[in-house]
A and B are shown apart, each in its own frame.
Chain A
Amino acid sequence: MNAQTPSRTWNPYVAGALAGLLLVLSVWITGKYFGASTTYVRAAGFAESVLDAARVAAMPYFMKEKPVIDWQWMFVLGIVLGSFAAAALSRTFRLQAVPDRFAARFGPSVGRRFVVAFVGGAVAMFGARLADGCPSGHGLSGSLQLAASGFVALTCFFVGGLVVARLLYGSTQQGR
């Protein structure tokens, strides 16, 4: 392989199966199932504690999900680092502010993309906390345990996403 060419993308079935084995090992060794969204609650708790620690300490949701660094916090941090390492090693790291599909539909404005991403992130996280999980916690970990909540949540994630994606891009959008 040439040193300049990026490595080929892995087959999604192979990578998905390896992720499944990783999850099984994690459950075996540490008893931990994958999840991500609780970490944002803990991080928000940290940030708010800087401003008003007493208020945070008295809020019921931060009593439930305390601002501490736990297994999942390190898991989410690990995802960032692992992805960076894999991107660097495979020469697929690329700084990009506006994704191709977004730019083709809404133009190259970085400001517009960042506002949409921020609002989308806020709406998504509010929903994930109301549902008590995200595609990791409910979608992967919940449904693989055959949890009724996991299947209901996963279905609702996709229904909400399909509707809004269709509104954003219209029904004529084709190709990839």
Chain B
Amino acid sequence: MELIFGLVTGALFGALLQRAEVIRYDRQLGALLLVDMTIVKFMLTTILVGMVGVYALVDLGLAKLSLKPLILGGTVLGGLTFGAGWALLGYCPGTAGAALGEGRTDALAGMAGMLAGAALYAEAYPTMKATVLTWGDFGKLTLPQLLGLNHWPVIAVMVVGGVLLLRWLEKKGL
């Protein structure tokens, strides 16, 4: 049953990504070259809606958070490495599948590369675990915990900040 939910959720998400055109190489590179912010608009809206909805569910006892730990060595070095590869490929792991779905065959080469990268990381994991993944381990930490605040004021600031950023992007015509 869980597998069917996964398939249906993915299909709906894939359809939304395709209809908003956020899966195209030209759009992803457009964002990284700061000339086309379509993917930023999509992502930021998803984040803000999800933030309010998920925290409402958590407060009602209907859902649990699922946090990844902040390990500065891994998150920063891995994040920068990911960004470099993303600029070369022009798709990310989720959008590559959607790009393939709408006929972009170069996404297939990218996905093959991602399988190779995953295999390579599996080889490197014991070394990484003993080195990079021990640097700056803060555990599972949220922004409200870090600030010593309730989550709703933080969410309110995020929503207002996000909307102001989006309005500024629209004004700039990006």
Binding site for B on A (CB under 8 A): 7, 9-13, 15-24, 26-34, 36-37, 39-41, 43-45, 47-48, 59-62, 64, 69-87, 90, 92-102, 113-166, 168-169, 173-176
Complex interface residues of chain B between 73 and 128 (CB less than 8 A to chain A): 74-90, 92-107, 109-126, 128
Q: Which of B5, B55, B72, B86 contacts A32, CB < 8 Å?
A: B5
- Judged by DSSP, the binding face of A is helix
Closest partner residue, chain B, to A118 (CB atom) = B113
- Min CB distance, B3 to chain A, in Å? 5
Tell whether, in the assembled complex, residue B68 and residue A133 are in contact, meaning their CB atoms are under 8 Å apart.
Answer: yes
- Min CB distance, B64 to chain A, in Å? 7
- Judged by DSSP, the binding face of B is helix
| A–B pairs, 24, beta carbons within 8 Å | A12-B22, A20-B46, A24-B49, A31-B63, A71-B3, A78-B6, A78-B7, A83-B18, A84-B101, A87-B102, A99-B26, A101-B26, A122-B117, A122-B120, A124-B114, A127-B79, A127-B81, A128-B93, A129-B121, A131-B82, A132-B74, A146-B154, A156-B83, A162-B83
Closest partner residue, chain B, to A90 (CB atom) = B19
With contact pairs A20-B45, A76-B97, A169-B33 given, residues A61 and B143 touching in the complex (Cβ less than 8 Å): no
With contact pairs A9-B21, A156-B82, A161-B84 given, residues A148 and B141 touching in the complex (Cβ less than 8 Å): yes
Q: Please report the C-alpha to C-alpha distance between residue A24 and residue B146 in the assembled complex, in whole angstroms.
A: 24
